[in-house]
Structure 1
Amino acid sequence: MHTYRIAVVDDDQHIRQLVETYLQKENMATIGLGSAEEAWELWRTHPPDMWVLDVMLPGMDGFEFCKKIRSDAEVPIIMISARDDEVDKILGIELGSDDYLVKPFSPRELVARVKRQLQRMKKLQSKDEPLPIDAADDYIDLGELRLLLHERRAIWRKNEVDLTSKEFDLLKLFVERPNRAFARDEILQLVWGEDYFGSDRAVDHLVKRLRKKMGDLPVEAVWGHGYRLNGGEC
């Protein structure tokens, strides 16, 4: 049985030790760190399976650290903060955190959210397992866009685009049903899973990242609803 390694980053030693104690009771291994700089060194040398990350850290804050990690990988991140402002919550989600919890919080609630994120990660990893040889066609073509499903790679106008797992899942959703308008809540359910806790602003941020990486990919906003891929312009 795999033992998950959770990095807990908080400059408050009491909170850090409390969180670690509850996670260890659930048979998870923990690494406690007091700054984002220490956390970055851990990421470079021995990356954990998941981060529990305080926003208010000395030096580099949690928002900046989350942004650095998310630009590199899709590892789960739960942000915790004493600040209850909606702006902070939205910023955390936009920068790529998977959940946001306000202090003071119940350690049991945090453990439950950690478990949900790990379950979601396990499902995503299972999607990356090799498919049977006799499976359906392993690619989808739409205009100048090709998705290699088994390899989870995207080719746009003859250039390969480096996508995270969620970016690929969102693009696959659009390509499989071009011109169909998806509501934000529907995208959350299909890409993040039914037990997702966060704001639907996560969808806007993911679409923004996809557009930035793929130039003039014709993903259109549907006012007051969500997004669609204009298949006629691919």
Structure 2
Amino acid sequence: MDKSDCILIVDDEPEIRRLLVDYLARNGFEAMAARDAREAWHMLAHHAVDLLVLDLMLPDTDGLTLCRDLRAKSSLPVIMLTARGEETDRIVGIEMGADDYLVKPFNPRELLARIKSILRRTRALPPNLQPEPVRCLRFANWCLDTAERLLIDPDGVATPLSGGEFRLLRILLEHPNRVVTRDQLTEMIHGREAEAYDRAIDVQVSRLRQRLHDDSREPQLIKTVRGEGYVLAASVLAGNTCP
């Protein structure tokens, strides 16, 4: 890291805030903490934050609402912390735009590994796009602006994507008309093997279909290959300009 990446911890438990800020600082990051959504918005407005670690339960609002509101205006990576291991909580977190999730109690080393993995994948350019990075990927009258991480619809309206949505769409666009398995997608997007009953990828696919107005009952763009994974059923044209 040329500069210390800035991680914002949003959690209402003082001990967790102190523990994580100290641990991340000792591992080369600039770390800050907020106890609620109000403080988080203030810090986001005044600091260049690279990744948000967000607790599900906050005193003034819930983390899901904060994540949803943030995702409407930013592609800042988000790791959601949840005190419960219920699958529903994890699924809703991904639906709101979180890039990954971690269930409390957790080992700080695992959080550190997740942070490094997400930052690496957020910034990495696939080898087949070097040394001349492609700015725009066009498909089925849609465009993905890879520089700004925006999805541009046929009418020219741009929408910011979460880190997970962006990486998922980009992977599918780089392998058009080819099946990519759920395990492959999990490894490429989250940097870890799929856990048993882990539905994060399925939820992100569903969210991406909504973005693309692709009917989940009879999808035309992102099709499900039962027992295998997903395939982007469209031709892709790479270019250096977007609408």
TM (normalized to structure 2)?
0.73
The residue type equivalent to 1:5 in the other structure is C
- Contact conserved, 1:148 with 1:154, CA < 8 A, in 2? yes
The residue type equivalent to 2:156 in the other structure is N
Q: Percent of aligned positions with the same letter in both sequences? A: 37
Match of 2:25 in 1: 24
CA–CA distance in structure 1, aligned partners of residues 152 and 146 of structure 2:
11
CA 196–73 in structure 1, closer or farther in 2 if over 3 Å, else same:
farther
Give the length in aligned residue pairs.
Answer: 225
- Give the secondary-structure state (helix, strand or coil) at the position aligned to 1:180: coil
The residue type equivalent to 1:222 in the other structure is V
Instruction: Report how far residue 39 of structure 1 moved.
Output: 0.7
- Give the secondary-structure state (helix, strand or coil) at the position aligned to 2:3: coil
Instruction: Report how far residue 77 of structure 1 moved.
Output: 1.8
Summarize the alignment of residues 76-225 of structure 1 with structure 2, pairs less than 5 Å apart. 76-123=77-124, 126=125, 135=132, 142=139, 144-145=141-142, 157=154, 159=156, 161-164=158-161, 166-190=164-188, 192=189, 194-195=191-192, 200-216=198-214, 218-225=221-228
Match of 2:61 in 1: 60
Instruction: Report how far residue 17 of structure 1 moved.
Output: 0.8
CA–CA distance in structure 2, aligned partners of residues 111 and 136 of structure 1:
29
Match of 1:49 in 2: 50
CA–CA distance in structure 1, aligned partners of residues 171 and 78 of structure 2:
23
- Contact conserved, 1:178 with 1:228, CA < 8 A, in 2? yes
Match of 2:36 in 1: 35
CA–CA distance in structure 1, aligned partners of residues 3 and 194 of structure 2:
25
Instruction: Report how far residue 117 of structure 1 moved.
Output: 2.6
RCO comparison, higher one (Cα < 8 Å, 6+): 2
Match of 1:10 in 2: 11
Larger Rg: 1
Match of 1:230 in 2: 233
More helix as a share of residues: 1
TM (normalized to structure 1)?
0.76
CA 46–99 in structure 1, closer or farther in 2 if over 3 Å, else same:
same
